[in-house]
Structure 1
Amino acid sequence: MQLRRATMDDALDVLSWRNDETTRMNSFTQDEISKESHLKWFKKKLDDDNCLMYILEDKNVKAGSIRVDITDDVGEISYMIAPGERGKGLGKGIIELLETMPEIVGNDNRKQIRCLVGFVNKDNIASAKCFKSNKYTELNAGDIKCYIKIMTDIDSME
Protein backbone atom coordinates (compact mmCIF):
# COMPACT_ATOMS: atom_id res chain seq x y z
CA MET A 1 0.00 0.00 0.00
CA GLN A 2 1.10 3.52 -0.72
CA LEU A 3 -0.25 7.05 -0.85
CA ARG A 4 0.43 9.45 -3.69
CA ARG A 5 -0.75 13.00 -4.23
CA ALA A 6 -4.08 13.19 -6.03
CA THR A 7 -4.33 14.77 -9.49
CA MET A 8 -7.24 15.78 -11.71
CA ASP A 9 -6.89 12.34 -13.34
CA ASP A 10 -8.30 10.91 -10.09
CA ALA A 11 -11.39 13.13 -9.95
CA LEU A 12 -13.87 10.76 -11.59
CA ASP A 13 -12.75 7.78 -9.49
CA VAL A 14 -13.21 9.83 -6.32
CA LEU A 15 -16.64 10.98 -7.53
CA SER A 16 -17.68 7.40 -8.21
CA TRP A 17 -16.59 6.31 -4.72
CA ARG A 18 -18.28 9.33 -3.13
CA ASN A 19 -21.59 8.66 -4.88
CA ASP A 20 -21.60 5.00 -3.83
CA GLU A 21 -24.68 4.30 -1.68
CA THR A 22 -22.73 3.05 1.36
CA THR A 23 -20.35 6.00 1.22
CA ARG A 24 -23.27 8.42 1.07
CA MET A 25 -24.97 6.70 4.03
CA ASN A 26 -21.83 7.29 6.12
CA SER A 27 -21.26 10.87 4.93
CA PHE A 28 -22.51 14.06 6.51
CA THR A 29 -23.88 15.08 3.09
CA GLN A 30 -25.83 12.14 1.72
CA ASP A 31 -27.02 13.56 -1.60
CA GLU A 32 -25.44 12.42 -4.85
CA ILE A 33 -22.97 14.93 -6.20
CA SER A 34 -23.04 16.02 -9.84
CA LYS A 35 -20.00 15.58 -12.05
CA GLU A 36 -19.84 19.32 -12.77
CA SER A 37 -19.88 20.42 -9.12
CA HIS A 38 -17.46 17.66 -8.11
CA LEU A 39 -14.90 18.61 -10.76
CA LYS A 40 -15.01 22.27 -9.63
CA TRP A 41 -14.66 21.25 -5.98
CA PHE A 42 -11.86 18.76 -6.73
CA LYS A 43 -9.80 21.31 -8.67
CA LYS A 44 -10.32 23.90 -5.92
CA LYS A 45 -9.09 21.41 -3.30
CA LEU A 46 -6.03 20.46 -5.38
CA ASP A 47 -5.14 24.16 -5.74
CA ASP A 48 -5.67 24.92 -2.03
CA ASP A 49 -2.41 25.21 -0.07
CA ASN A 50 -4.33 24.25 3.07
CA CYS A 51 -5.55 20.97 1.62
CA LEU A 52 -3.63 17.75 1.04
CA MET A 53 -5.30 15.05 -1.06
CA TYR A 54 -3.92 11.58 -1.61
CA ILE A 55 -4.91 8.44 -3.44
CA LEU A 56 -4.35 5.06 -1.82
CA GLU A 57 -2.95 2.46 -4.17
CA ASP A 58 -2.88 -1.20 -3.24
CA LYS A 59 -1.28 -3.63 -5.66
CA ASN A 60 -1.44 -0.98 -8.43
CA VAL A 61 -5.19 -0.50 -7.91
CA LYS A 62 -6.72 2.79 -6.79
CA ALA A 63 -8.22 1.73 -3.48
CA GLY A 64 -9.29 4.94 -1.76
CA SER A 65 -8.65 8.58 -1.05
CA ILE A 66 -7.80 10.66 1.97
CA ARG A 67 -7.89 14.42 2.39
CA VAL A 68 -6.58 16.70 5.11
CA ASP A 69 -7.97 20.22 5.40
CA ILE A 70 -5.56 22.32 7.47
CA THR A 71 -6.53 25.17 9.77
CA ASP A 72 -3.57 26.63 11.66
CA ASP A 73 -1.80 23.50 12.94
CA VAL A 74 -4.82 21.17 12.95
CA GLY A 75 -5.54 18.78 10.09
CA GLU A 76 -9.07 17.48 9.59
CA ILE A 77 -9.13 14.05 7.95
CA SER A 78 -11.75 12.85 5.45
CA TYR A 79 -11.25 9.50 3.78
CA MET A 80 -13.07 6.80 1.86
CA ILE A 81 -12.25 3.36 0.60
CA ALA A 82 -13.31 2.35 -2.91
CA PRO A 83 -16.41 0.12 -2.75
CA GLY A 84 -14.66 -2.91 -4.24
CA GLU A 85 -11.76 -2.62 -1.79
CA ARG A 86 -13.70 -2.51 1.48
CA GLY A 87 -13.27 -5.15 4.15
CA LYS A 88 -9.52 -5.53 3.59
CA GLY A 89 -8.28 -3.37 6.47
CA LEU A 90 -7.43 -0.46 4.17
CA GLY A 91 -9.21 2.12 6.36
CA LYS A 92 -6.75 1.54 9.19
CA GLY A 93 -3.89 1.50 6.68
CA ILE A 94 -4.81 4.73 4.90
CA ILE A 95 -4.83 6.68 8.18
CA GLU A 96 -1.60 5.03 9.29
CA LEU A 97 0.10 5.92 5.98
CA LEU A 98 -1.18 9.49 6.15
CA GLU A 99 0.59 9.99 9.46
CA THR A 100 3.95 9.21 7.81
CA MET A 101 3.63 11.65 4.90
CA PRO A 102 6.27 14.44 4.86
CA GLU A 103 3.54 17.08 4.52
CA ILE A 104 1.96 15.81 7.74
CA VAL A 105 5.05 15.28 9.86
CA GLY A 106 6.56 18.63 8.87
CA ASN A 107 9.41 17.49 6.65
CA ASP A 108 8.43 19.53 3.59
CA ASN A 109 8.98 23.10 4.85
CA ARG A 110 5.29 23.44 5.77
CA LYS A 111 4.15 24.44 9.20
CA GLN A 112 3.93 21.22 11.16
CA ILE A 113 0.52 19.73 11.81
CA ARG A 114 0.29 19.28 15.56
CA CYS A 115 -3.05 17.50 15.70
CA LEU A 116 -5.16 15.35 13.37
CA VAL A 117 -8.93 15.05 13.80
CA GLY A 118 -11.64 13.05 12.12
CA PHE A 119 -15.40 13.39 12.46
CA VAL A 120 -17.53 10.27 12.08
CA ASN A 121 -21.29 9.64 12.10
CA LYS A 122 -22.11 7.62 15.22
CA ASP A 123 -23.41 4.72 13.07
CA ASN A 124 -20.22 4.47 10.99
CA ILE A 125 -18.70 1.68 13.08
CA ALA A 126 -16.07 0.74 10.49
CA SER A 127 -14.59 4.25 10.37
CA ALA A 128 -14.69 4.57 14.16
CA LYS A 129 -12.76 1.31 14.40
CA CYS A 130 -10.11 2.60 11.97
CA PHE A 131 -9.44 5.72 14.03
CA LYS A 132 -9.41 3.79 17.31
CA SER A 133 -6.98 1.21 15.94
CA ASN A 134 -4.62 4.09 15.04
CA LYS A 135 -4.76 5.33 18.66
CA TYR A 136 -7.03 8.33 18.17
CA THR A 137 -8.91 9.53 21.23
CA GLU A 138 -12.69 9.36 20.86
CA LEU A 139 -14.90 12.27 21.89
CA ASN A 140 -18.67 11.91 21.68
CA ALA A 141 -20.89 14.78 20.57
CA GLY A 142 -24.35 13.37 20.05
CA ASP A 143 -24.69 11.92 16.56
CA ILE A 144 -21.06 12.71 15.76
CA LYS A 145 -17.88 11.22 17.14
CA CYS A 146 -14.66 13.17 17.00
CA TYR A 147 -11.33 11.34 16.86
CA ILE A 148 -8.23 13.29 17.77
CA LYS A 149 -4.53 12.52 17.82
CA ILE A 150 -1.71 14.79 18.91
CA MET A 151 1.14 14.47 16.39
CA THR A 152 3.92 16.23 18.30
CA ASP A 153 5.23 16.10 21.83
CA ILE A 154 4.17 19.01 24.03
CA ASP A 155 7.87 19.66 24.78
CA SER A 156 8.62 20.25 21.09
CA MET A 157 5.87 22.86 20.64
CA GLU A 158 7.00 26.40 19.98
Structure 2
Amino acid sequence: MEENYFLRKAKDEDVNDVFKLSNEDYVRKYSINTTEIDWKEHKAWFENIMNSDNHIFYVVTDRTNKFLGQLRYRVENEMATISISLCKSITGRGLSKTLVKNSIELISEERYELKKIIAYVSNDNIASKKLFESIGFILQENKKAMLKYEYFI
Protein backbone atom coordinates (compact mmCIF):
# COMPACT_ATOMS: atom_id res chain seq x y z
CA MET A 1 0.00 0.00 0.00
CA GLU A 2 2.81 2.42 0.92
CA GLU A 3 4.27 2.28 -2.60
CA ASN A 4 1.18 4.12 -3.86
CA TYR A 5 1.82 7.22 -1.72
CA PHE A 6 4.58 9.76 -2.05
CA LEU A 7 6.13 12.75 -0.32
CA ARG A 8 7.18 15.71 -2.40
CA LYS A 9 8.12 19.28 -1.62
CA ALA A 10 5.12 21.60 -1.44
CA LYS A 11 4.53 23.88 -4.42
CA ASP A 12 2.79 27.24 -4.72
CA GLU A 13 -0.22 25.56 -6.35
CA ASP A 14 -0.81 23.51 -3.16
CA VAL A 15 -2.07 26.62 -1.34
CA ASN A 16 -5.79 25.82 -1.86
CA ASP A 17 -5.53 22.15 -0.87
CA VAL A 18 -3.54 23.01 2.26
CA PHE A 19 -6.13 25.66 3.15
CA LYS A 20 -9.05 23.24 2.76
CA LEU A 21 -7.36 20.50 4.79
CA SER A 22 -6.25 22.91 7.51
CA ASN A 23 -9.84 24.08 7.99
CA GLU A 24 -11.36 20.60 8.24
CA ASP A 25 -13.11 20.17 11.60
CA TYR A 26 -11.12 17.05 12.49
CA VAL A 27 -7.84 18.91 11.82
CA ARG A 28 -8.79 22.08 13.72
CA LYS A 29 -10.01 19.99 16.67
CA TYR A 30 -6.49 18.83 17.54
CA SER A 31 -4.54 21.89 16.41
CA ILE A 32 -2.83 24.26 18.83
CA ASN A 33 -5.01 27.01 17.33
CA THR A 34 -8.50 25.52 16.97
CA THR A 35 -10.17 28.51 15.28
CA GLU A 36 -10.95 28.52 11.56
CA ILE A 37 -8.22 29.96 9.36
CA ASP A 38 -8.89 33.07 7.27
CA TRP A 39 -8.01 32.80 3.53
CA LYS A 40 -5.97 36.03 3.42
CA GLU A 41 -4.02 35.04 6.51
CA HIS A 42 -3.48 31.57 5.10
CA LYS A 43 -2.14 32.92 1.80
CA ALA A 44 0.34 35.16 3.63
CA TRP A 45 1.34 32.32 5.96
CA PHE A 46 1.77 29.88 3.04
CA GLU A 47 3.91 32.31 1.07
CA ASN A 48 6.06 32.94 4.14
CA ILE A 49 6.54 29.20 4.72
CA MET A 50 7.38 28.56 1.07
CA ASN A 51 10.03 31.30 1.07
CA SER A 52 11.53 30.40 4.45
CA ASP A 53 14.82 28.61 4.96
CA ASN A 54 13.52 27.55 8.38
CA HIS A 55 10.65 25.44 7.06
CA ILE A 56 10.58 22.16 5.17
CA PHE A 57 7.14 21.43 3.73
CA TYR A 58 6.18 18.07 2.25
CA VAL A 59 2.91 17.15 0.59
CA VAL A 60 1.49 13.61 0.50
CA THR A 61 0.21 12.52 -2.92
CA ASP A 62 -0.81 9.38 -4.74
CA ARG A 63 0.30 8.19 -8.19
CA THR A 64 -1.99 10.76 -9.84
CA ASN A 65 -0.43 13.59 -7.76
CA LYS A 66 -3.69 14.02 -5.84
CA PHE A 67 -3.18 16.02 -2.62
CA LEU A 68 -3.67 13.75 0.41
CA GLY A 69 -1.98 15.57 3.26
CA GLN A 70 0.95 17.55 4.55
CA LEU A 71 3.99 17.18 6.80
CA ARG A 72 5.79 20.35 7.82
CA TYR A 73 8.93 20.98 9.80
CA ARG A 74 9.97 24.24 11.45
CA VAL A 75 13.75 24.09 11.79
CA GLU A 76 15.62 25.88 14.56
CA ASN A 77 19.35 25.13 14.79
CA GLU A 78 19.72 21.41 15.57
CA MET A 79 16.01 20.67 16.10
CA ALA A 80 12.83 20.67 14.06
CA THR A 81 9.16 20.68 15.05
CA ILE A 82 6.91 18.41 12.99
CA SER A 83 3.29 19.04 12.04
CA ILE A 84 1.17 16.48 10.19
CA SER A 85 -2.37 16.44 8.81
CA LEU A 86 -3.83 13.93 6.40
CA CYS A 87 -7.01 13.88 4.34
CA LYS A 88 -9.81 11.67 5.68
CA SER A 89 -9.49 9.43 2.62
CA ILE A 90 -6.17 8.03 3.90
CA THR A 91 -6.51 8.25 7.69
CA GLY A 92 -6.85 5.01 9.63
CA ARG A 93 -4.88 2.99 7.07
CA GLY A 94 -1.62 2.86 8.99
CA LEU A 95 0.14 5.13 6.50
CA SER A 96 1.06 7.85 8.98
CA LYS A 97 3.93 5.87 10.47
CA THR A 98 5.54 5.25 7.08
CA LEU A 99 5.00 8.85 5.98
CA VAL A 100 6.52 10.32 9.14
CA LYS A 101 9.48 7.92 9.02
CA ASN A 102 10.08 8.74 5.34
CA SER A 103 9.85 12.47 6.04
CA ILE A 104 12.40 12.13 8.86
CA GLU A 105 14.77 10.40 6.43
CA LEU A 106 14.25 13.16 3.85
CA ILE A 107 14.74 16.04 6.27
CA SER A 108 17.80 14.32 7.80
CA GLU A 109 19.40 14.15 4.36
CA GLU A 110 18.59 17.79 3.66
CA ARG A 111 19.42 19.12 7.12
CA TYR A 112 22.27 16.97 8.34
CA GLU A 113 22.72 19.20 11.43
CA LEU A 114 19.40 18.05 12.93
CA LYS A 115 19.70 16.07 16.13
CA LYS A 116 16.13 16.17 17.46
CA ILE A 117 12.54 16.35 16.20
CA ILE A 118 9.73 17.62 18.41
CA ALA A 119 6.03 16.84 18.07
CA TYR A 120 3.30 18.67 20.00
CA VAL A 121 0.19 16.53 20.34
CA SER A 122 -3.19 17.23 21.90
CA ASN A 123 -3.71 14.96 24.89
CA ASP A 124 -7.08 14.02 23.34
CA ASN A 125 -5.50 12.91 20.05
CA ILE A 126 -5.01 9.23 20.80
CA ALA A 127 -4.10 8.32 17.20
CA SER A 128 -1.25 10.85 17.09
CA LYS A 129 0.04 9.81 20.50
CA LYS A 130 0.17 6.19 19.31
CA LEU A 131 1.75 7.25 16.03
CA PHE A 132 4.65 9.19 17.52
CA GLU A 133 5.25 6.65 20.29
CA SER A 134 5.36 3.81 17.73
CA ILE A 135 8.10 5.63 15.81
CA GLY A 136 10.20 6.15 18.93
CA PHE A 137 9.24 9.65 20.04
CA ILE A 138 9.53 9.98 23.82
CA LEU A 139 7.06 11.94 25.93
CA GLN A 140 8.93 14.84 27.58
CA GLU A 141 6.23 17.22 28.85
CA ASN A 142 2.50 17.36 29.55
CA LYS A 143 1.32 20.97 29.76
CA LYS A 144 -2.25 22.26 29.44
CA ALA A 145 -3.50 19.19 27.60
CA MET A 146 -0.66 19.50 25.05
CA LEU A 147 2.02 16.82 25.05
CA LYS A 148 5.59 17.36 23.90
CA TYR A 149 7.34 14.39 22.30
CA GLU A 150 11.00 14.26 21.26
CA TYR A 151 12.76 12.01 18.77
CA PHE A 152 16.55 11.87 18.64
CA ILE A 153 18.16 11.34 15.26
Superposition TM-score, scaled by structure 1 size: 0.87
Question: 1:141 is matched by which residue type in structure 2?
Answer: N
Are 1:82 and 2:87 an aligned pair? yes
Q: Could you say which residue in structure 1 is the equivalent of 2:104? A: 99
For these two proteins, the number of residue pairs brought into alignment is 147
Of 125, 128, 146 in structure 2, the residue corresponding to residue 144 of structure 1 is 146
Aligned counterparts, 1:120-131, within 5 A: 120-131=121-132
For structure 1, the residue ranges without an aligned partner over 5 or more in a row are: 152-158
Alpha-carbon separation, structure 2, partners of 1:38 and 1:147: 27
Are 1:4 and 2:8 an aligned pair? yes
Are 1:70 and 2:75 an aligned pair? yes
Q: What per-residue deviation string (whole Å, max 9, x for no partner) do you get for residues 88-130 of structure 1?
A: 12222221111110xx22x44x452111110001001111111
Are 1:48 and 2:52 an aligned pair? yes
Alpha-carbon separation, structure 2, partners of 1:90 and 1:32: 26
> Percent identity at matched positions?
26
Deviation above 2 Å: which 4+ runs of structure 1?
58-61
Q: Is the 8 A contact 1:66 1:79 kept in 2?
A: yes
Q: What per-residue deviation string (whole Å, max 9, x for no partner) do you get for residues 20-70 of structure 1?
A: 001111111111111111011001001000100000123433211010001
RMSD: 1.4
